[in-house]
Structure 1
Amino acid sequence: MKRRMGVVVAGLVLLAVAALVSVFVVLPRFGTDTIDRSQPALLQSLRDLSQYHAAAGDFQVVLDIEHDVRFVPSALAGQRTLFVAAGTVNAYVEFGGLAEDALKVSQEAKTVELALPAAVLDKPNLVQERCYVFAQERGLVDRLASLVETQDQQPFYVAAEQKISDAARESGLVGRAEENTRKMLTGMFGALGYQVMFTGATSD
């Protein structure tokens, strides 16, 4: 009796497995629909960029700095230094602080409206190998002092950074960075099938 019951149970299990297999085989013939209700991760993509360095400029400056001692001839005291400095300045757009409403996406119209932050200039990065004293004239007292102490060149580096910063602001580097950023974002969103429109204040 027990053996017969076991055979019956085994037969029922086999029938159930066969039925499931037939369902999975037959269902694809009716076709399936896939509905994707996922939201685009565009804003997260921008935050991942954090800073987009969109342009860089190479600059060189020759400093001509003279230190005079009042009422003392330059042959006795004082010095004049020609200091050559070179460096680069990066212009970037900061995406890390974008507000939630800075990016508006319309899935129906396939458009993106972005409040693009204005580009800013980074601190000049001086190239040490290209910064040096080109020529120097010293009075007698200064020449004697140089025998026992090394001249501090830090003021020349500080002055060079300021000169290069001023030149970068007048060079149009910020405007170029913003233009390059718009081109990059237009291409990125375009690859996703979206048309991008830019709003917000820029340097233009």
Structure 2
Amino acid sequence: MALLRRSRSAGSDSAGAPEQNPDDTPRRSPGDKAPPRRERRRTPWYVGLPVTLAAIVAFFLAGAHLGLFPSIPNPLERRTVDRSQPVLLRSIQDMKHFTGAQGNFQLVVDLDREAAFLPSALLGHRTLYVAAGTVDAYVDLAALEKGAVTVSGDRLSATVVVPHAQLAAPALDVGRSYVYLQQRGLFDRIGDFFSSNPGNQRQVEMLATQKIEQAAKDTELARRAEQSTRSMLEGLLRSAGFTTVTVTTAP
């Protein structure tokens, strides 16, 4: 009987003892609370919405600009609207000049404005301007002196003395003139940004006009105009019935 009691007590002791965890990790009882889990933060859906919309808009704008969507109008297409006022006629003048010759000129204006003690990268302005213009040479027939035209009694001979030819003001051809190169320093770029006339193109145009005018004076443009005027008057008087026509230039 004593042996049976000992075996039961030993069995009950072994049954009530907790089992050992081989890795020595303590086990939680059913009443213990589980440790809180770290939740992964998710980016809200509305944060990426502007980026997505911007990408979609950029895609459609690029496609419309490149012509990938013919049915969609290009919102970046520019149009030219002419809002000019009607042309006003100020005056009409009778011209008594005969243009006997015209000279066509072209030159490259190299205008460089630089500072004395600063490099051109900071303060300097260089412009290469290709200028094209014309100069007319004319004879003022209204300036004929009294007795400049003499006609013989039989109306077969005529003598005309015309004044010397003059040069008109140069006319710059804006269609063939353009700025070829423009280099500006840092301070000049800042100044041109706030200026109403960036680049000061008016200055190079005036310089080109002066150079064309001086070049016209150094040519035989006036002499060619006098020769052309004499030929015109001779042909005109011969067609009027004069057989002998003499046209000279006033001394």
Shift of the 180–200 alpha-carbon distance from structure 1 to 2, 3 Å rule, reads closer
TM-score, with length taken from structure 1: 0.70
CA distance in 1, matches of 2:145, 2:165: 16
CA shift for structure 1 position 93: 0.5
Match of 2:119 in 1: 73
Number of the residue aligned with 1:5: none
Is residue 184 of structure 2 the alignment partner of residue 138 of structure 1?
yes
Q: Deviations over 1:125-184 (max 9, x none)?
A: 111122221101111211222222223222111111111111212221111111111111
Flag the structure with higher helix content. 1
Partner SS state of residue 208, structure 2: helix
Shift of 1:99: 2.3
Contact 1:94 1:117 in 2 (8 A): yes
Distance 1:136 1:50 in 2: 43
- For these two proteins, the number of residue pairs brought into alignment is 155
Unaligned 5+ segments in structure 1 are: 1-47
- Asked if the contact 1:114–1:199 (Cα under 8 Å) also holds between the matched residues in 2, the reply is yes
What is the DSSP-based 3-state SS (H/G/I as helix, E as strand, rest coil) of the residue aligned with 2:158? Answer: strand
Equivalent residue number for residue 23 of structure 1: none
Is the alpha carbon distance of 1:137 and 1:190 closer, same or farther for their aligned partners in structure 2, counting shifts above 3 Å? same
Q: Does 1:99 align with 2:148?
A: no
| Equivalent position SS for 2:142 | coil
1:107 to partner: Cα distance: 2.9
The residue type equivalent to 2:148 in the other structure is: A
Partner residue, 2:247 = 198
Q: Which runs of 5+ in 2 are unaligned?
A: 1-93
Structure number, greater radius of gyration: 2
Aligned partners of 2:207, 2:116: CA distance in 1, in Å?
23
Per the alignment, residue 171 of structure 2 pairs with: 125
Match of 1:53 in 2: 99
What's the counterpart of residue 45 of structure 2? none
Matched, 1:116 2:162: yes
Please state whether the residue corresponding to 2:237 is helix, strand or coil.
helix
* Aligned match of 1:157: 205
Q: Is the 8 A contact 2:135 2:216 kept in 1?
A: yes
Partner of 2:38: none
| Displacement after TM superposition at 1:109 (Å) | 6.3
CA 1:135–1:187 in structure 2 vs 1: closer, same or farther (change >3 Å)? same
Matched-pair identity in %: 41
